[in-house]
Structure 1
Amino acid sequence: MAARMLSPALAILLFAASLGGAAAQTYAPAYRADSLGQQALRGDKILVTGKSLPPSGAYEVIESIWAYSRWFGNKDDVIRMLREQARSLGANAIVETGTWYAPAFPRTLAPHAMGTAVRIREIELLEAMTDSSSTWE
């Protein structure tokens, strides 16, 4: 008999706990008003562009980087490899980026890419380097 009396009380208790838990676990993602250039200055994003650097500005050329895929892959894969290399070097942009297909054993053609890893220190320069062919990754 006592077990029957606890069932409705237990149901009410579980219902109340679920309501309180739902309110406590509400999540609202934080709004970030940062531009992509500001994210790149922090190191969150890397600009990949075919453009050349201007003759002057607040930037540091780190080194030339390249990547290729001997097996399966496409140009997006080698761009991803370039981006990982640039990030490991502390760069926030890859300029003069080029991709192409070239013979590679055992595939007939394999994707290749190269570019120059740079650290750009001015948000205005980063945003000026961005065009429709550029990507932020």
Structure 2
Amino acid sequence: MSEAATETRLSQDELIEQIAGQTVNAAIFDVYTNTRKEQQRAVKGQYPSIVAVGRMSQRVEFVGMVETAESLHNLYAAGQRWKALSPLQAGMYIYVPKGYCADARTLCLRETIRISDFRHYWFDDNGLHIEKCFA
């Protein structure tokens, strides 16, 4: 199955759920996802895709923004969503499809958007893969 076919078949809501399930340790964090279908946890009036709250601290430890090729079609608009969360006292991760890392990073540098890490994802016959963009 091609990467494009898998991403097209998978809704953004399903993608958010899968990325949260693979990247957030549920033993340490309470994990909330904000999808088109259901918004579980706001952070400073915003709804990032993934919110991880420390079980002991009960503080938002990090947020994740899951983007698709479609949501990155207007990269500037995506940057404005990220910028709204940039002042948080928590880590912020951006998840983009493979091939979009450089554009996302360039935008963040140009717009002074503080990001903890960029990660890219792709699909193959073994399913969803997620890696850091820049080692």
Q: What TM-score range do you get, normalising by the shorter chain?
A: under 0.3
TM-score by length of 2: 0.25
Q: Give TM-score scaled by structure 1 length.
A: 0.25
More helix by share: 1
Q: Which has the larger radius of gyration?
A: 1
